[in-house]
């Protein structure tokens, strides 16, 4: 049994689905179901005995203790977080609470549980912390990609909260010996991503005939990785990663935001043409994100050379699959865009116009 936190969100749900398709080991999935958590992502698992879903908060110590005592997991894979940079700028407190205090609580409960195990189980136990390349800060155009040795220079409330959680993870290994591993991954895309993030937002807006908002000049660079490749990397690090180590995960796919949006428009023009002409007509430049990091790029050679992981998808194959998934799953999009999402859209984009 493994304990997954945040397994109803974008990457966590992909991880849970892939894991249960791949092996027999059951999962207990703890998720608070915030606006970003969606049980529809896990609809394929209805009636699946190997998936135990628990609605709850990683800040709830008593709940965490009960879950550890009852399920006795051999590992924790920790995805649960507030994950959207723009939301962290508008309201950082949930980010401090979940990403820092929640990770602290999980570490404390994991430490007590780990101390109660026999020597073999103690050696085999793992706490895998899922983190981000944003902790490293922003790169100049010609600077080398982030290696694991790069100093932390987080710039947004989100990345600062993730950096703080990474430091807690490191310290719990160094001080208490807890067998932790951390992954720092670049921008993910794929099925089930909440349409507040660039790629699903652009697809959803294009389908609705709405503007495709580009922050600033569209020349900021992100390094894109298809979500199932990230999930495969996490499985690899869980199985083979050395306790106390960190592993960068990335797809060697640096693209400007404008290139990504143009590519999305071209695929949509092919798969779902509009009678009004190319979707590129909807591209709209809006006020920049405050403190907007210019460029991220990941050097993933350690993971490749030490543990043999490589991405299976290129950007071209992954982005085609992603657009096709959103076009085939319009009811999923309609459901997540209803209700509270409308308030966020008004808050974030109303101010930029």
Active site residues: 133-134, 158
Per DSSP bridges, beta strands 2-5 and 75-78 are: parallel
Residue 83 binding ligand NAD, by CB under 6 A: yes
DSSP for residue 242: P
- Asked if residue 227 lies in contact with residue 188, where contact means CB atoms within 8 angstroms, the answer is yes
Name which of ligand NAD, ligand DAU, none residue 194 binds, using a CB cut-off of 5 to 8 Å depending on partner kind: ligand NAD
Q: Which is nearer to ligand NAD, 8 or 282 (CB)?
A: 8
Name which of ligand NAD, ligand DAU, none residue 200 binds, using a CB cut-off of 5 to 8 Å depending on partner kind: none
- d(C-alpha 252, C-alpha 313), whole Å: 11
Per-residue mark of binding to ligand DAU, 113-142 (x: CB under 6 A): -------------------xxx--------
Q: Which of 17, 27, 76, 80: binder of ligand NAD (CB under 6 A)? A: 80
- d(C-alpha 33, C-alpha 7), whole Å: 9
Helix (H, G, I), strand (E, B) or coil at 129: strand
Q: Which of 2, 16, 29, 34: binder of ligand NAD (CB under 6 A)? A: 34
DSSP class per residue in 170-218: HHHHHHH---EEEEEE-EEESTT--TTSHHHHHHHHHHTT--EEEETTS
Least Å distance, CB 344 to ligand NAD, is 13
- d(C-alpha 340, C-alpha 20), whole Å: 31
Per-residue mark of binding to ligand DAU, 203-222 (x: CB under 6 A): ----------xxx----x-x
- Longest CA span, the chain: 67
Helix (H, G, I), strand (E, B) or coil at 55: strand
Q: Which is nearer to ligand DAU, 99 or 179 (CB)?
A: 99
Least Å distance, CB 105 to ligand DAU, is 21
| Distances 328 to 323, 324, 325, 334 between C-alpha atoms, Å | 9, 6, 5, 12
Per-residue mark of binding to ligand DAU, 233-272 (x: CB under 6 A): ------------------------x---------------
Q: List binders of ligand NAD among 49-68 (CB under 6 A).
A: 57-59
Positions touching ligand NAD (CB under 6 A) are 5-6, 8-12, 31-34, 36-37, 57-59, 79-83, 98, 102, 130, 132, 162, 185, 187-188, 194
């Amino acid at each position: 049994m493994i304990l997954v936190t945040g397994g109803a969100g974008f990457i966590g749900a992909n991880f849970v689905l892939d894991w249960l398709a791949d092996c027999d080991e059951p999962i207990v999935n703890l998720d608070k179901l915030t606006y970003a958590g969606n049980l529809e992502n896990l609809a394929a698992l209805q009636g699946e005995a190997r998936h135990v879903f628990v609605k709850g908060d990683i800040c709830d110590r008593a709940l965490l203790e009960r879950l550890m005592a009852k399920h006795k997991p051999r590992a924790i894979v920790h995805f649960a977080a507030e994950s959207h940079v723009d939301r962290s700028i508008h309201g950082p407190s949930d980010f401090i609470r979940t990403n820092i205090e929640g990770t602290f609580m999980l570490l404390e409960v994991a430490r007590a549980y780990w101390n109660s195990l026999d020597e073999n189980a103690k050696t085999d136990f793992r706490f895998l912390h899922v983190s981000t390349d944003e902790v490293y800060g922003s790169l100049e155009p010609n600077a080398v990609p982030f290696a694991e040795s790069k100093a932390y220079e987080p710039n947004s409330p989100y990345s600062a909260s993730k950096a703080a959680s990474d430091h807690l993870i490191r310290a719990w290994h160094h001080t208490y010996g807890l067998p932790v591993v951390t992954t720092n991954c670049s921008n993910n895309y794929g099925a089930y991503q909440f349409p507040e993030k660039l790629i699903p937002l652009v697809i959803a807006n294009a389908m609705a005939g709405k503007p495709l908002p580009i922050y600033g000049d569209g020349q900021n660079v992100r390094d894109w990785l298809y979500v199932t490749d990230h999930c495969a990397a996490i499985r690899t690090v869980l199985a083979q990663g050395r306790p106390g180590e960190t592993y960068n995960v990335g797809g060697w796919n640096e693209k400007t935001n404008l290139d990504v949006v143009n590519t999305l428009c071209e695929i949509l023009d092919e798969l779902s043409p509009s009678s009004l002409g190319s979707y590129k007509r909807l591209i709209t430049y809006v006020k920049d994100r405050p403190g907007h990091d210019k460029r991220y790029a990941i050097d993933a050679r350690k993971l490749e050379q030490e543990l043999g992981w490589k991405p299976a998808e290129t950007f071209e194959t992954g982005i085609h699959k992603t657009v096709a998934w959103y076009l085939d799953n319009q009811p999923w999009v309609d459901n997540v865009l209803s209700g509270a999402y409308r308030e966020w859209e008004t808050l974030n984009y109303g101010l930029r116009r």
